Each structure stands twice: as C-alpha cells, then as structure tokens.
Structure 1
Amino acid sequence: MRMGTGVSAMEETGAAIVLSGVSLTRGGRPVLQDIDLSTDARRIGIVGRNGSGKTTLARLICGLIAPDTGTVRIGGVDVARDRRAALRTVGILFQNPDHQIIFPTVEEELAFGLTQMGRTKEQAQAAVTAILARFGRAHWHDAAIHTLSHGQKQLVCLMAVLAMEPRVVVLDEPFSGLDLPTRMQLTAAFARIDAGIVHITHDPDVVRDYDHVIWMDGGRVAMQGDAAPVLDAYVARMTALGAGDDLSHLAG
C-alpha cells in the first residue's frame, strides 16, 4: 500500500520515507513481506502486535539491517548501502537504554556519535554542551550513567541522537518500563523534536494525534493512512481477538 505521491519535495529536503518491494527472511521465516510505502508525513506511528514486524521495520528504516529484496530510502538516502549518510539522516531510540549506552559518563556517550560523524573533539564538545543546555541538563555533563534512572538514561539516549541532528528519529517502544510522570516528560521532549518521527508502539493512544499510522500484521502492512481510521480498525481487531476464547490467537 502507498500513501502520498512517491518522491516529493519533502524527500529532497530529507524527511520522506520510501520503501519499495522490501522483504526480509530470518531463519527461513519471512519477517517482512512485500512492503511498499511512501509518505512525507512528519509524525508517523507504527502499530501492531508482538512479532508483527514493527521493530524489524524500525531497524530497516535506520539502516541497521538490510532487506533481502527492495530498497529503503530516507530523504533520498539508501540507508542500507550508505552507512555514513545514514548516520546523518536517521537516529534510533531503542526500547531499553542499556542496550544503547556504551560509555560510563553522559559526556562520553553524547560525544561518541558526533566523533563518528567526523566532528573534531572541540566541535563534539560544543555540541554536547549545547544539547545538555537545550534540555536543561547541563549538570549531567560529568554524571556517571549508572547513577541515572531508567527514564534519565532514556533521555540521555534521546539527547545523543538529537545531537547528531538527524532528519528522522525512530522511537522503538520508548516508554517500556517507565512510570507515568517519566512518560509524560519524555512525551513533552518528543513534541519538541524538529526532525520527523517514526514511533513504534503497541499502544494506539500514543500515536492517535500523529499524521500517518501504519498497522503491521504478520510482516505485512495491514492498513495505513490517517491515524483515526487505521487505529480504529486496529483496536477493533485487537478487541475481537481479546474477546475470543481460542488462546492460540493470542500467541503473537
């Protein structure tokens, strides 16, 4: 299914997402099948049950894995083939910050991606100072990561991604394990992001005010378009599954 008119003026400036004939198999099992979509929406939600292909799709969009067939282009960049350009174009916030953070201090974590992009040490330090000030966390500069809460670590990861100034930020179930106040604070932080957002979630309410929603089911796009009709159909289907008495349908 497609939305939009293909490569648009927005893609030329770096925000459009275009997947053409994308399929991926792992261990002999199809994980994604014949994904075709094109959208220049600024805020995109991707919903679906566990095992529907949401997270795999997120990793394809970031160029962390390559499709077996087809292409993934973000802002005209083939993210699987041009890794350096992909780093400048797409950033990802993982579900668990402990799977993303690799350095012992906040400053080191924030600076790493910038130096990987070719920034000098001085340029990286200036960017670190700027992103910490932007989020009111200048006092975190020398903080040890292990002293931070789960939500604070997630904010560090978000700042690390945004410091690299990507055109698109992928959020992969970023609220997992967070309490309500922390979720609210992160939601406010997401709302201030200037880049395009692709938000992976199983919770339809999280993306109800987004511009475009994609419903993944069994590795395929079941439906996509404006948020309200897609989410209404998704919720109706999930409600029907939950009301059934055959537990085999709930294995996904």
Structure 2
Amino acid sequence: MIQLEHVTHAYNGRVVLDGISLELGEHRIGLIGANGSGKSTLARTLNGLVVPDSGRVLVDGLDTRKHGREVRRRVGFVFSDADTQIIMPTVAEDVQIGLRGSGIGRAEIAGRVDEVLARHGLAGHRDHPAHLLSGGQKQMLALASVMVTEPRVLVCDEPTTLLDLRNVRVVTEALRGLEQQVILLTHHLDTLAGFDRVLVMDEGAVVFDGEPGAAVEHYTALMERRP
C-alpha cells in the first residue's frame, strides 16, 4: 500500500504538489493530466526520487524520506525515454546490473536475466548493443531491467510517449500482464480501459478520482475549457 499524507512540493517557489492525500492500493491505477499538472512529480514521490517539502509518502509503512533504498526495492520506476535508463553496452548487461549487490548467486542471476528477457521478447537480442535496439525494444529493455529486481509496484511515467502505435500496444499489453501493482502515467487515454482507478491532476491537485471512463471524460472536458 502506498499512502500520501498532505504531500506538498515546490520548484523555485512554484507549487507543483499542493497538499495531496491518497491511498493507492488498487492493482491498476492511471494518472492523467496536462503537462505541468504535477503528475510526474507525484509519480517520483512514490519511490523517493522526489522527497516532498512537507507531508510524507509511505510505502508499506516505510517513509520515503527515511527509507529510500528499501522503498526503491519495492517500487520500480520506468521513464518515458528509455535511453535515460539504458546504461550498459549490451542488453543482458543492462538487465543484470539491476541485481548488482543483491547477494544473489551468479547462477540465479543468469537464470533471472534469461527469464525476464524471454518474457519481454528480448531473448534473441541478449548480446546485442542496447542502444541499437528499436524504440519499442528499448522500452521493453527498460521495463525488463526494472522487473528483474522483482518490485512489488511499478510506476511508469508515460512509457509509450515516444512510440508508434504498434509499440504502444506491445508495451501496454506487457504492463497488463504483470502481477505487480502498476501505476501508469499516460497521454494515450485508451490504454486506461479496464483499469481499476484513474486520477486526474490539474495545477498540483487531484481534481478527479474514479473509474476510467468518467476520469477521461472529466479530463477531456477540462482541457476543452482551456484557452
């Protein structure tokens, strides 16, 4: 369970999160809002990438301010641009680095790497240069590199933004198939069909919290009212 208690955060004096309190327990949660609404900052508070100026975020009772390392073991994060997450020369090396210092034996590490590459359609690219993959393959690699650590929660910050429609479907179906709780930020509103809950953010606040159809309708109406 992730809990936000009166979370406030500002950048250079501009408030981007304004006293947000939430409990996030559903299996599939969407988060939508215009650019600058605060959704990416909110997402980053969920695993301690951003620590709020006031209030607190708890993951299974652990305060992100005090227990950042333990929180990040529980909550994985996938960014919109996979190139920012790919840091090793080959596909297998990039997945394996997430297990460095885990105390897991070499044979188990190799098995987990092979399994996660197969699950995400990358087994045939094991020794390929990671940065020469296609856009969709890079995003699957970013996902595999997080999933190999077996987090309980996966936060995805617009992982389909840079992809064509085919790869949007590939990534979306991969996320739908995960056992983990998934919190998805997206501008592809149709990918939220079947989600348990969708939050709409505007000007640093959650302005709607409900089922996907109603949330998308609220967000669309909000954007249509903007000049």
What TM-score bracket applies, with the shorter chain setting the length? over 0.9
Calculate the aligned-residue CA RMSD, in Å: 1.5
Unaligned runs of 5+ in 2: none
Give 2:100's aligned residue.
Answer: 115
Give 2:84's aligned residue.
Answer: 99
Which deviations, in whole Å up to 9, do the C-alpha atoms of 1:111-160 show, x marking residues without a partner? 11111444344432221112112234322221111220111110001011
2:192 counterpart of 1:207: yes
Q: Contact 1:87–1:117 at 8 Å: present in 2 too?
A: no
Give 2:159's aligned residue.
Answer: 174
**Residues 227 and 150 (structure 1 numbering): CA distance in 2 closer, same or farther, change over 3 Å?**
same
Q: Report the TM-score when normalising by structure 2.
A: 0.94
Give 1:55's aligned residue.
Answer: 40
2:58 counterpart of 1:69: no
Structure 1 CA distance, aligned partners of 2:21 and 2:101? Answer: 32
2:211 counterpart of 1:226: yes
Which deviations, in whole Å up to 9, do the C-alpha atoms of 1:68-100 show, x marking residues without a partner? 111112232323321221222001110001111
**Residues 94 and 116 (structure 1 numbering): CA distance in 2 closer, same or farther, change over 3 Å?**
farther
**Residues 22 and 116 (structure 1 numbering): CA distance in 2 closer, same or farther, change over 3 Å?**
farther
Q: Report the TM-score when normalising by structure 1.
A: 0.85
Structure 2 CA distance, aligned partners of 1:144 and 1:170? Answer: 26
SS of the residue 2:221 aligns to? helix
**% identical aligned pairs:** 39
Give 1:23's aligned residue.
Answer: 8
Q: Contact 2:153–2:180 at 8 Å: present in 1 too?
A: yes
Q: 1:55 Cα deviation (Å)?
A: 0.7
**Residues 237 and 23 (structure 1 numbering): CA distance in 2 closer, same or farther, change over 3 Å?**
same
Which deviations, in whole Å up to 9, do the C-alpha atoms of 1:189-225 show, x marking residues without a partner? 1111110010012333221321111111001111112
Give 2:135's aligned residue.
Answer: 150
Moved over 6 A (4+): none
Q: Contact 2:83–2:131 at 8 Å: present in 1 too?
A: no
Q: 1:177 Cα deviation (Å)?
A: 1.8
SS of the residue 2:118 aligns to? helix
Paired amino acid for 1:240: R
**Residues 118 and 65 (structure 1 numbering): CA distance in 2 closer, same or farther, change over 3 Å?**
farther
Structure 1 CA distance, aligned partners of 2:224 and 2:148? Answer: 40
2:75 counterpart of 1:90: yes
Q: 1:46 aligns with which of 15, 26, 31?
A: 31
Q: Contact 2:38–2:202 at 8 Å: present in 1 too?
A: yes
How many aligned residue pairs are there? 227
**Residues 70 and 137 (structure 1 numbering): CA distance in 2 closer, same or farther, change over 3 Å?**
same
Paired amino acid for 2:81: N
Q: Contact 1:115–1:124 at 8 Å: present in 2 too?
A: no
Which deviations, in whole Å up to 9, do the C-alpha atoms of 1:1-34 show, x marking residues without a partner? xxxxxxxxxxxxxxx2210010011111111110
